[in-house]
Amino acid sequence: MLDGRRVLLVISGGIAAYKSLELIRRLKERGAQVRCILTRNAQEFITPLAVQTLSGEKVCSDTFSLTDEHEIGHITLARDCDLVVVAPCTANLLAKMATGLADDLASTALLVTDKPILVAPAMNFRMWNHPATQANLATVRGRGAAIVGPNAGMLAENESGMGRMSEPAEILAAVEGILAAGPLKGIKALVTSGPTYEPIDPVRFIGNRSSGKQGHAIALALARLGADVTLITGPVALPNPAGVTTIHVETAREMLGAALGRLPVDVAVCAAAVADWTVSNASREKRKKEPGSPPPAIELVPNPDILATLSEKGGARPRLVVGFAAETEKVVEHAKAKRDRKGCDWIVANDVSPATGTFGGDFNTISLITAAGVEEWPRIAKADVAERLAWRIADVVKGVSV
Ligand code: CTP
């Protein structure tokens, strides 16, 4: 059931809009509250009156309507819900979502929301197959949106192919999959991700090449299972994952401070590539080249170990603390030693030796080191590591044995 869950349904202008009326009815039957935004083009296919009658809520269609803005501003509309469903999502609206255009209420709400988004594309198969649409889809999916459909079948122009919007029952199942109380509901999780930057002077720093992809994917996967997730990230070129509270930091000390500030949590996953050292003689002013002088010495001192600090015994220790280890040889032996040294519960050990093709590749080979022993995971896509880890966390975190 979806009792009390609030869905914002964005209906854009395609013939499949008629199926959205059925979707509203089914969502309401399941107990959801449904608010709808109709684009201008959607109103060529279905009327606001029909949508309003079925949803029992005022229909919103124009960003600049003064009464709408007074009663429910577009920011409230986009954030006062548990899920945004875009059905049908035309090629045009998908392109706006990918590029961040906000030129009407629907696209503005999609840009402003911090809630999970479910997209049900519907379009002509040539539009669907176009590389631009596929690139837009990959962008939107990469930012964390879930996609349902499209299906193959008869399309509006008496042509058949891929592009038919999923049936209301399929969209409803996807909605329930996202909104049903996940196994981590009620669980607070903290994830660190990305590199840290340690300043040498106001313009230079010591950093590393961590992309943050794995940590961000773990934060998203935990949120999808219902956890209340805070992601603390160093500088990365990734968007904030949907449905996750993201805190941006630069240095290891800032990362530690932010992490301690979020305690108590139930689960902590340290995926960040934290710099081991920071510069003790960092200059307040930009260091200048002095003609004839040797290069300045950079003095390093150790950074605090965030994983080890969070693992320290005490009242605020998370019930489950997970660290990462990238090893090139004796993977399990080194990872076990790291687990003991840091005092964490699990180590996700990664074989990054050149023969595995892990660096730069799409697949990963993981050994999960726990108190009970070593679990060897099959070689899986990097994107699946996060999901598998999140489910593994869900398996144990509601009981206490780790
Ligand atoms: N970590 C941390 N704070 C640090 C250093 C590391 O939280 N100051 C965490 C990382 O997020 C990761 C794990 O500790 O979960 C990795 O430990 P680390 O000692 O950095 O491992 P390696 O980089 O593999 O180092 P080495 O093999 O050289 O010991």
* Domains defined along the chain, listed by start: 6-179 (3.40.50.1950), 188-397 (3.40.50.10300)
Let me know if 201 is exposed, middle or buried by CB neighbors in 10 A (0-12, 13-18, 19+). Answer: middle
| CA 371 – ligand 1 centroid, Å | 19
| CA 158 – ligand 1 centroid, Å | 59
3-state SS, one letter per residue, for 274-338: CCCEEECCCCCCCCCCCCCCCCCCCCEEECCCHHHHHHCCCCCCCCEEEEEEEECCCHHHHHHHH
291 or 69: which leads in pLDDT: 291
Q: Which residues are within 8 A (CB) of 102 and not within 5 positions of it... i.e. 6 or more apart?
A: 96, 108, 110, 111, 112
How confident is the model over 148-153, as a mean pLDDT?
89
For the CA of 310, the closest atom of ligand 1 is: 7
For residue 56, the model assigns a pLDDT of 95
Residue percentage of the chain with pLDDT more than 70: 95
How confident is the model over 324-344, as a mean pLDDT?
95
For residue 402, the model assigns a pLDDT of 42
Q: Which residues are within 8 A (CB) of 125 and not within 5 positions of it... i.e. 6 or more apart?
A: 155, 159, 160, 161, 162, 163
Residue 120 is encoded by which pair of tokens? Answer: 């049900």
Pick the catalytic residue from 92, 208, 281, 364: 208
Q: Is 158 helix (H, G, I), strand (E, B) or coil?
A: coil
Let me know if 167 is exposed, middle or buried by CB neighbors in 10 A (0-12, 13-18, 19+). Answer: middle
| CA 140 – ligand 1 centroid, Å | 32
The pairing of beta strand 160-164 with beta strand 151-154? antiparallel
The three-point CA angle 337-338-341 to 5° equals: 85
Dihedral over alpha carbons 82, 239, 207, 283 (to 10 degrees): -90
Q: What is the pLDDT of residues 1-44, one digit of tens each?
A: 788 789 999 999 999 999 999 999 999 999 999 999 999 999 99
| CA 395 – ligand 1 centroid, Å | 25
Residue 71 has pLDDT above 70, yes or no: no
How confident is the model over 46-66, as a mean pLDDT?
85
Q: What is the pLDDT of residues 203-254, one digit of tens each?
A: 999 999 999 999 999 998 898 788 999 999 999 998 888 778 999 999 999 9
| CA 274 – ligand 1 centroid, Å | 7
Indicate if ligand 1 lies below 6 Å from the C-beta of 270.
Answer: yes
How confident is the model over 58-70, as a mean pLDDT?
67
Residue 63 has pLDDT above 80, yes or no: no
| CA 338 – ligand 1 centroid, Å | 8
Ligand 1: which residue has its CA nearest to atom 21?
325
| CA 339 – ligand 1 centroid, Å | 10
pTM over 0.75: no
Residue 181 has pLDDT above 80, yes or no: no
- DSSP result, 26-68: HHHHTT-EEEEEE-TTGGGTS-HHHHHHHH-S--B--TT-HHH
Ligand 1: which residue has its CA nearest to atom 18?
325
Ligand 1 pocket test: pick from 232, 338, 341 the residue with the most ligand atoms within 8 Å of its Cβ: 338
Q: What is the pLDDT of residues 309-320, one digit of tens each?
A: 999 988 889 999
The phi and psi torsions of 364 (rounded to 5 degrees) equal -140, 145
User: How far is Cα 156 from Cα 173, in angstroms, rounded to an integer?
Assistant: 24
For residue 400, the model assigns a pLDDT of 43
Indicate if ligand 1 lies below 6 Å from the C-beta of 323.
Answer: yes
For the CA of 324, the closest atom of ligand 1 is: 15
- 282 pLDDT band, cuts 50/70/90, is very high
Ligand 1 pocket test: pick from 192, 231, 267, 305 the residue with the most ligand atoms within 8 Å of its Cβ: 305
Mean residue pLDDT of the chain comes to: 91
Residue 263 has pLDDT above 60, yes or no: yes
Indicate if ligand 1 lies below 6 Å from the C-beta of 326.
Answer: yes
Indicate if ligand 1 lies below 6 Å from the C-beta of 305.
Answer: yes
Residue 366 has pLDDT above 60, yes or no: yes
The phi and psi torsions of 268 (rounded to 5 degrees) equal -125, 130
**Is 364 one of the annotated active-site residues of the chain?**
no
Ligand 1: which residue has its CA nearest to atom 9?
307
User: How far is Cα 109 from Cα 339, in angstroms, rounded to an integer?
Assistant: 45
How confident is the model over 152-178, as a mean pLDDT?
85
Indicate if ligand 1 lies below 6 Å from the C-beta of 252.
Answer: yes
Indicate if ligand 1 lies below 6 Å from the C-beta of 274.
Answer: yes
Residues 231 and 191 sit within 8 Å (Cβ to Cβ):
yes
Least confident of 70-84, 139-153, 177-191, 289-303: 70-84
Residue 391 has pLDDT above 90, yes or no: no
Q: Which of 334, 354, 348 is nearest to 377 (CA)?
A: 348
Q: Is 385 helix (H, G, I), strand (E, B) or coil?
A: helix
Indicate if ligand 1 lies below 6 Å from the C-beta of 366.
Answer: no
For residue 1, the model assigns a pLDDT of 74
For residue 69, the model assigns a pLDDT of 56
Residue 384 has pLDDT above 70, yes or no: yes
CB atoms within 10 A of CB 373: 9
CB atoms within 10 A of CB 380: 15
Least confident of 40-54, 67-81, 218-232: 67-81
For residue 68, the model assigns a pLDDT of 58
Indicate if ligand 1 lies below 6 Å from the C-beta of 325.
Answer: yes
For residue 218, the model assigns a pLDDT of 94
CB atoms within 10 A of CB 400: 8
Q: Is 164 helix (H, G, I), strand (E, B) or coil?
A: strand
For residue 401, the model assigns a pLDDT of 40
Least confident of 155-159, 185-189, 389-393: 155-159
Residues 192 and 311 sit within 8 Å (Cβ to Cβ):
no
Ligand 1 pocket test: pick from 270, 311, 368 the residue with the most ligand atoms within 8 Å of its Cβ: 270
- 173 pLDDT band, cuts 50/70/90, is confident
